[in-house]
Structure 1
Amino acid sequence: MADWGPVVVAVLLFVLLSPGLLFQLPGKGRVVEFVNMQTSGISILVHAVLFFALLTIFLIVVGVHIYTG
């Protein structure tokens, strides 16, 4: 049996936390900007930290598992 939980969670978080897609934290002119499709180095760093934190929470604390087979 294959555990697809980590793969699904990582892909969903990667898509949702792409800087500029849904929101950008910090934005160019404001603290948070929505759907501007622009990014900066600090924004990439903030979104990477958010990705790692949420991925850790979902996989270790919550224990998301999706088994196939």
Structure 2
Amino acid sequence: MADWGPVAVAVLLFVLLSPGVLFQLPGNERAVEFGNLKTSGFAIIVHAAIYFALLTVLLIAVGVHIHIR
């Protein structure tokens, strides 16, 4: 039996936290920009840190598990 929780959480967070898709922190012209689909190097680093922090909290502290039979 496979545990699909970590895979589903990682893919969902990766898509949602890609810089420029929903928001970009920091933005190119403002502190936060929404849906501009443009990125900067610093925004990629910030979003990677947010992704790692949320993924760690959800997988280790909360213990998300999805078992499919």
Structure 1 length as normaliser, TM-score? 0.98
Percent identity between the two aligned chains: 71
The separation in 2 between residues aligned to 1:44 and 1:11, in whole angstroms, is 17
1:4 counterpart residue number: 4
**Unaligned stretches of 5+ in structure 1?**
none
Is 1:51 the counterpart of 2:38 in the alignment? no
Shift of 1:68: 1.4
Structure 1 or 2: larger strand share?
1
Runs (4+) of structure 1 moved beyond 3 Å? none
Q: Distance in 2 between matches of 1:59 and 1:31?
A: 29
Cα separation, 1, equivalents of 2:63 and 2:31: 32
Aligned amino acid, residue 66 of structure 2: I
Question: What is the aligned partner in structure 2 of residue 16 from structure 1?
Answer: 16
Distance 1:11 1:37 in 2: 19
Alpha-carbon RMSD = 0.4
TM-score, normalised via structure 2 length:
0.98
The CA deviation string for residues 1-22 of structure 1, in whole angstroms up to 9 with x for no partner, is 1000000000000000000000
